[in-house]
Each structure stands twice: as structure tokens, then as C-alpha cells.
Amino acid sequence: MAITHRYDVLVVGAGGSGLMAALYAAKNKNVSVAVISKLYPTRSHTGAAQGGVGAALGNVSEDHWEWHMFDTIKGGDYLTDQDAAEVFSKDVIEAVYELEHMGLPFSRLPNGKIAQRKFGGHTREFGKAPVERACYAVDRTGHMILQTLYQQNVKEGTMFFNEFQVLDLIIEEGVCRGVVAYELKSGELHVFHAKSVVLAAGGYGRVFKITSNALSLTGDLMSIYYRKGLPLEDLEFYQFHPTGIAKLGILITEGARGEGGILRNNSGERFMERYAPTIKDLAPRDMVSRAIINEIREGRGIGREKDAIFLDLTHLPKEIIEGRLPDITDFSRTYLGIDPVTELVPIQPTAHYAMGGVPTTIDGEAIADDAGTTVRGLYAAGEVACVSLHGANRLGTNSLGDLIVFGRRAGVAAAKYAASAEFEEMPADAARDSNTLIERLKSGNGKENTANIRKELQSSMMDNVGIFRTGADMERQVQIVKELQARYKLVSVTDTGSKYNTELIEALELGFLLDIAEGMTASALNRKESRGAHDRADFPDRNDKEWLKHTMVYRKSEGNVQIGYKKVVLGKFEPKARVY
């Protein structure tokens, strides 16, 4: 028998978006709020965010929210919904001040105002030159956001269920009634009955071999949503960050280029001058990552295998490198034995951010079909969600902004809904499917193991659905994923214990990754154009006439995928060619 709990509002995930949602739900004194997280909250990936949160404060030079809105839409290759971009660019200014007032220790200018630096794709006067828009706390911005929001939640009385892994969402007759979670410490299943649920469970970078993402980012809740036949939006758009530490994928923040860092090929050339003459190394990430791979393909890479590029910071003063980028200086010294003050750092693009996810309205309500019907009582925010702010390519610093703006909106909306709703009946056998899933893995015959399948999935996704794509590669990947899904059915765990069974957790997470890979590959194969992070050699141009629309991928049954579409919300910025 599963253990049962009851809260008005349940938040799944304790990263920046989950903690912001929980905090604003908890401020509504008519509702009880609990957060469920598979990690201890302050270990969430938001804590790894380095470079900053973008907001047009104008502390260093003139800036306006309209310029930020424009950059976000252009950066997203015009697939961004313009209503979301407008709300975002305005609200993020106030949200940053709110964090400041909660005590977040931002880096400061000599006049005491919040310090700001340049970041890719952020410009003044609609593309004229880079502008200082990223507010930062050295290169530990996400860490500070997470700590600040956690403290505020403790103060507000939010209840936390840490190291509880959600395995199922209970949705009946179009109404979300709660979730089922597995307690890591005891191995017991818990049913959480709720009036509203906010999904804030982060991304799925672990579907790729080289990634900046933490081990825990396996797309669990996106996958659970998808398994119910509900749509995921724009999954084909996955961002590769240009500067991961070569071979390891550990991130070197774009803030390094924001502070003046330069990319160089094997002859020392600043090659970005050829690709983006106006903003050079600060072009959006999709363009810089493609430029790097292009340099490598044409033989201008560095290192023994010529498969990396140099990031050069050596012309910058030591105080800037060590003072404003202390963590990445440390990473470089620790993992590479290279001192960025005097030496060039080898880098390589690394899988970084999911633009797509659970489709939502601008109030975070989860969308169930192409027509925009919402699932009552279900909300999503942060990287798990797709409010269509980032379109086909997210700008650096816009995810942390997304978490605080749309996390707050989802929390407010979920609490408002819960305050006037009744608890809908929870089915007596709510935990049945989760129990079956676990028992199958514990009782199988062990012909296959998790690590092998995961390794094959990660390298094939990297090769076939990575930075450069073709129809033939992706067709092959559809088959590979099918085969891996079939083999996954033969996986069983050797540890059948109930306490901290990490082998079981990894097996469950592989199941989630495989399903995300299925939806992602199908979406990418279907989109016959190149836009933002989705680049196809067989369809090299952007095609607004046919493809200025969002993809909605549905699973009818395993291996049987159906594609639908949703309109892009256009507005004052007409789609144009992207020139930087």
C-alpha cells in the first residue's frame, strides 16, 4: 500500500523554477504547498548556472526591455511567441530587483548598482552592438539564486520532500489529481494528492554523450507527460553551448567571452569575424557552435585529434579572469591543468539546453492538444516547459530569467486555482503503474544492462541528432531508438534492495531518456528546414512559408508517433533573415 499525502499545491522540482513557483504559491495563505525533488534542493542544476541573468536594467549603458524582447525573438530565429517575449522582457527587470531585495549577493559596480556584462546575442538598438545586460554574482549566479530562493521558501513554510522521485502523474478526465513518487531512502511508493501540480523538473541533456548537464537531467517529467499521449512542443530544438571543456563537456560560461574572451582556430585566427562580422564571438550560440564545428571539419581544429578550438583569455587582466570568473578558472586549472591567465583553453561544443518541452500558456498552464486545451490543475515552468520564449535557440542568460518570471507566474496561477478548487477523487490504484514499472525491472532476466544501452543512446544521439543533421542520419536514429527500446525491455537490475537503490533509479531514468529521444528524433526528422539550433544539410534554408509553426509531438503507442502543430504568436517584430 502506498503512503498518501495531501497538499493543495505540489511542485515537482526544486531548481530555480520550482522554488520560485513554490515561493509564490506559498505567499497565498489560502493554500498548503509542498515541493518534491529527487535531489536535495540546493543540488539542482540551477546551482551550476554561471554567467548571469539578463534584464534591461541599463546600469552600465542605456538599455530597454524592447531591445531585450527583440534580441530574444531574433535569437530564437522568429519561432519565439512574441506575447511570451514581451511579458518576459518587462517582468524580468522587476524579478531581478526582487531577488536583490531577498538578499541575493549580486556583483556590484563601483556606484553600488548591480553589475552587468555582455552576453551572446544581447544588443542595443535592435542589433547595433553588444550591450551589458547580464546581471551576475561572479560566475556563480545560479548557485546564489538557488540558495536565496531555498531560504525564502523555508521562511515561508514550504514543505519539502527531498530525494523523492516522481514516477507518474495522475490525470483523469482532463484534470490533474496528483503524482506518485518513489522514496529513495526506503524504496516505498507515495501518492501525493493535490489540487494543482507544477512541473519544474528541468531538462534532459543526458540524452547526449557530451553535455554540460548534471547526471540527474534525464527528462523524467517530460517523458511521463509524453507517455500519457500528451504533446511535447519543439523538441527538435536542442542547444549546444559553444564552450564546453574539450572531451569533458563541463561548461565554460559565455561570460568568459562577455568579458572579452576570443575564439581562435589552429592558426590563431579569430574566426568568428568571418561568421558574424558585427558581434563576432558574441553571436548566438547556435551560430557559434556551428562555426566551431565548421572550422574543425575544414581542418582548422586544435589538439592531437584536431577536434577542438581555443578559447583565449590571455589578453585580459588577471584580476578580471580570477575576480569575475573564479569558478571556470578553477575548472580549467583542475580538469585540464591549464591556467587561463597565461594559456589557451581547448573547448568543444557541449549539449546544453532544451528549448522544447511541455507546452504551456504564459501563465504556465499545461497544454494538451494542438487547439490549446489545457489540463486542469497542471502547470509547468523552467526547462521542462515550453512557453515558447526561446523559439529555435535560447539566448544566454534567458533561462535564469525564464525561471524567475514564468516560475513565479505558474506558482501564482497554481495557487489561485487551488484556492477555489475542490480535491478531485484520487483513484484507489493510483500507484499501480509505478509499482509495475519497478517490479518489472527487479524481476527481469537480466539479459541487458542499463549502462550499455545508455552509452549507445548517448553516442548515437550525438552523431545523428546533434549540431548538424541530415534526413538519412535521423531515419537511422529512429531505428536505433526503436532497437534500444526493445532491448530496454530486457533490462533488469541486480540490486533488488529497497534502500538507496541507485541502480534501479538509473534504469528508470534510462526509460525516460529513450522516450524523449523517440519524440525528439521524430520531431527533428519531420521539420524540413534549418532554423536556429535545428540545422539540416538536406534543407539548409529557413522556410517561413511552411515551417513558421511549433511542432507538437504525441505518442500514440510506443514507436507510433504523431506530429501536430501550433501557431507561432507573431507581433511587432516581423520575421527577417538573421544577420549579426
By CB under 6 A, is residue 332 in contact with ligand FAD?
Answer: no
Answer whether 288's CB lies under 8 Å from 272's CB. yes
Cβ atoms 216, 29 nearer than 8 A: no
Task: List the catalytic residue out of 285, 290, 408, 536.
Answer: 285
Q: What whole-number distance in Å separates Cα of residue 292 and Cα of residue 306? A: 11
Residue 291 interacting with ligand FAD (CB under 6 A): no
Q: Does 16 bind ligand FAD (CB under 6 A)?
A: yes
Q: Which stretch binds ligand FAD (CB under 6 A): 8-16, 188-196, 307-315, 320-328?
A: 8-16
Interface with ligand FAD (CB under 6 A), residue from 44, 116, 374, 393: 44
* Binding residue for ligand FAD, selected from 55, 200, 413, 533, defined by CB under 6 A: 200
Q: What is the DSSP letter of 340?
A: T
Q: How far apart are CA 423 and CA 535, in angstroms?
A: 46
The continuous run of DSSP H or E covering 385 comes out as strand 385-386
Question: 304: buried, middle or exposed (CB in 10 Å: 19+, 13-18, 0-12)?
Answer: exposed
Shortest Å, Cβ 43 to ligand FAD: 7
Going residue by residue from 249 to 278, which x/- string records binding to ligand FAD, judged by CB under 6 A? Answer: --x-x-------------------------
The site for ligand FAD, by CB under 6 A, has a size of 44
Report if residue 232 touches ligand FAD, rule: CB under 6 A. no
Span interacting with ligand FAD, options 42-50, 84-92, 306-314, 495-503, rule CB under 6 A: 42-50
Q: Is 15 in the site for ligand FAD (CB under 6 A)?
A: yes
Which residue lies nearer to ligand FAD by CB, 133 or 566? 133
Helices H / strands E in the chain, number of each: 16, 20
Q: Does 202 bind ligand FAD (CB under 6 A)?
A: yes
**Position 403 contacts ligand FAD (CB under 6 A):** yes
Build a one-symbol-per-residue string for 158-187: x at contacts with ligand FAD by CB under 6 A, - elsewhere: -------xx---------------------
Shortest distance (Å) from residue 411 CB to ligand FAD? 12
Q: Which of these segments, 215-223, 325-333, 462-470, 524-532, binds ligand FAD (CB under 6 A)? A: 215-223
CA gap 107, 258 in Å, rounded:
15
Contact status: 14 vs ligand FAD (CB under 6 A): yes
Q: Does residue number 48 form part of the binding site for ligand FAD (CB under 6 A)?
A: yes
Return the residue nearest ligand FAD (CB atom): 15
| Residue 398 binding ligand FAD, by CB under 6 A | yes
- Cβ neighbors of 486 (< 8 A, separation 6 or more) are none
Cα pseudo-dihedral 455, 457, 463, 467, rounded to 10 = -110
Out of 9, 10, 23, 39, the only residue in the binding site for ligand FAD (CB under 6 A) is 39
Grid coordinates 561570460 are at which residue?
255
What is d(CA 123, CA 482) in angstroms, rounded to the nearest whole number? 44
Least CB distance to ligand FAD at residue 193 (A): 17
Among 11, 13, 152, 379, binds ligand FAD (CB under 6 A): 13
Residue 301 or 401: which CB sits closer to ligand FAD? Answer: 401
Closest CB 395 distance from ligand FAD, rounded Å:
8
Does 213 engage in binding with ligand FAD (CB under 6 A)?
yes
Start-to-end CA span in the chain (Å):
59
Q: Of residues 80, 116, 141, 243, which one binds ligand FAD by CB under 6 A?
A: 141
Query: Does position 356 bind ligand FAD by CB under 6 A?
Result: no
Alpha carbon of 500 to those of 19, 137, 164, 278, 497: distances in Å?
25, 35, 11, 53, 8
CB of 99 to ligand FAD, least distance (A): 13
Closest CA to 72 of 355, 395, 405: 395
Q: If you search the block for the grid coordinates 527531498, which residue do you land on? A: 162
Give yes or no for residue 144 binding ligand FAD (CB under 6 A).
no
Distance CA 501, CA 159 (A): 24
Print burial letters for 405-420: b (CB count within 10 Å at least 16), e (below 16): bbbbbbbbbbbbbbbe
Q: Mapping DSSP to helix (H, G, I), strand (E, B) and coil, where does residue 576 land?
A: coil
Residue 305: exposure state from Cβ atoms within 10 A (0-12, 13-18, ≥19): exposed
User: Is residue 555 involved in binding ligand FAD (CB under 6 A)?
Assistant: no
530 near ligand FAD, judged by CB under 6 A: no
The one-letter amino acid code at 571 reads G
What is the closest distance, in whole angstroms, from the C-beta atom of residue 217 to ligand FAD in the complex?
Answer: 6
Q: Does 46 bind ligand FAD (CB under 6 A)?
A: yes
Q: Does 17 bind ligand FAD (CB under 6 A)?
A: yes
152 binds ligand FAD per the rule CB under 6 A: no
Q: Is 531 a catalytic residue?
A: no
Burial class (CB in 10 A: 0-12, 13-18, 19+), 97: middle
Q: Which grid cell sits at 245?
A: 571543456
Q: Is 521 in the site for ligand FAD (CB under 6 A)?
A: no
Q: Report the candidate in 359, 354, 337, 355 with the shortest Cα–Cα distance to residue 346.
A: 337
The binding site for ligand FAD (CB under 6 A) comprises 12-18, 36-39, 44-46, 48-53, 141-142, 165-166, 200-203, 212-213, 216, 220-221, 251, 253, 353, 382-384, 397-400, 403
**Residues catalogued as catalytic:** 285
